[in-house]
Amino acid sequence: MPHGAEKHGHVGGDGDGQVIDSVSGSDPAVAGESGLPAVDLAQAAAEAIGSVEATDGSVEVVRPDGTRLALTEGDPLFQGDTIETGPGAAIGVIFLDDTTFSLGAEGQVVLDEMIYDPGTETGVFHANMVRGVFSFVSGQIAKTAPEGMTVTTPVAAIGIRGTKLVGKAAEEGSENTFTMLPETNAQGVQTVGEVTIAAHNSNAPPVVLNSIGATVQMTSSFAPPPPVVVFSQAQIQQSFGSAVLSILPPSPAAGPAGEGPAGDGEGEDEEEGEGEEEEEDEEELAEDGGEVGDGGEEPPEDGGEIGDAGPAPVDHGPGPFGPGPGPGPGPDFGPGPGPGPDFGPDFGPDFGPDFGPD
């Protein structure tokens, strides 16, 4: 393999806290600012920053030295790599900090920079989305360094605060679209992070997306970002399709594989997929106020525990009924209605299977 890297299915830090720094296109002065000797910079260039988890159709990588190679599952990726997808193709990638990324048909992305210390789980990640539909779930860098992860398109700069986002990048004058999606955490609860989106050549303040379906559409890097709108599930499907979300790898940051309902401790990909399906079943059961594994019994409507001989309370109270955990910590994050009055039916429990990984 190029750079002397071994082919593998998953990449991770070596545990010694070594910082991987960008060397693509670096001159000696820039390289010197990194604080690493030339020999360490050369070693950093040989370190994989991520690996291919899945491909569909023709996907190629152009290395910094101009070498063009076909990509398949398990291939490593390096700083300065440019990923290109053919017609009808898609790719799913996982990076060192557990950020997951996917790119749809006829897309192009440049992996500009990856600086990551696995010991402190801090670093910097920057990718340049040249064109195409893409999606990602942010990993450790965005969690520990709010300014550490950025994605750019020809018209916009996206600051990541820990989230799941789907977008479409296009040249100046063409529509660039960015939409927030819900992410399911290790407890099976839907959550939403936050991104800021600014126009490259405008002094206007960025817009903030922090609710399910929140969307901004831009055509120029010189004009302020327009007001945020909310996309329905149908609009998301129409704008981005399903291929880029279907191939998006499950996020390791959502919890160790094998600890969910389907896992046996080995953490294989198949078990991750099964665990996600069962988590979705848990959410649907939680809507009824019950717990998975309660034998199918439903809690009585009076809010008491099954078999409770005590009197039924008159006031149900604002919380979920029965012994179950309920659909989530609040009305904005559970599988029920979202931030708008007409938003819930579109982004209820059926949202995951339609837009999550298969």
Distance, CA of 329 to CA of 30 (rounded, Å): 47
- Which of 259, 266, 89 lies closest to 188, judged by CA? 259
Q: 184 pLDDT band (50/70/90 cuts)? A: confident
Residue 11 lies in a domain: no
- Which of 209, 176, 178 lies closest to 192, judged by CA? 209
Cα dihedral 260/264/268/274 (nearest 10): -50
Residue 122 lies in a domain: yes
Q: Which long-range contacts (CB under 8 A, 24 or more apart) does 151-154 make?
A: 151/126, 151/127, 152/126, 152/127, 152/128, 152/200, 153/128, 153/129, 154/130, 154/221
pLDDT tens per residue across span 116-132 = 998 888 899 999 999 99
- 3: exposed, middle or buried (C-beta count within 10 Å: 0-12, 13-18, 19+)? middle
Between CA 211 and CA 220, with CA 217 as vertex, the angle to 5 degrees is: 140
More confident residue, 28 or 197: 197
How many folded domains does the chain comprise? 1
- Summary mean pLDDT of the chain: 72
Q: Calculate the CA 326 to chain-centre distance.
A: 25
Q: Which two tokens stand for residue 38?
A: 């030339």
Residue 177 lies in a domain: yes
Residue 238: count other Cβ atoms within 10 Å of its Cβ: 10
Residue 107 lies in a domain: yes
Distance, CA of 60 to CA of 89 (rounded, Å): 10
Distance, CA of 352 to CA of 20 (rounded, Å): 35
Q: What is the mean pLDDT of residues 192-203?
A: 95
More confident residue, 35 or 54: 54
Residue 333 lies in a domain: no
CATH code, 170: 2.60.120
Q: What is the pLDDT of residue 42?
A: 53
- Which of 215, 219, 21 lies closest to 113, judged by CA? 21
Stretch among 92-101, 133-142, 237-246, 271-280 having the lowest mean pLDDT: 271-280
pLDDT tens per residue across span 70-86 = 999 999 999 999 999 99
Residue 116 lies in a domain: yes
Residue 205 lies in a domain: yes
Q: Which two tokens stand for residue 111?
A: 């992996």
Q: What is the pLDDT of residue 342?
A: 42
Residue 53: count other Cβ atoms within 10 Å of its Cβ: 21
Q: What is the pLDDT of residue 251?
A: 77
Q: What is the pLDDT of residue 287?
A: 45
Residue 338 lies in a domain: no
- Which of 53, 151, 47, 138 lies closest to 97, judged by CA? 138
Across the strands, what pairs with 90? 56
* Residue ranges making up the domain that contains 164: 97-236
pLDDT exceeds cutoff 50 at 198? yes
Q: Are 263 and 271 in contact (CB under 8 A)?
A: yes
Q: What is the mean pLDDT of residues 266-275?
A: 42
Give percent above pLDDT 70 in the chain: 58
More confident residue, 135 or 267: 135
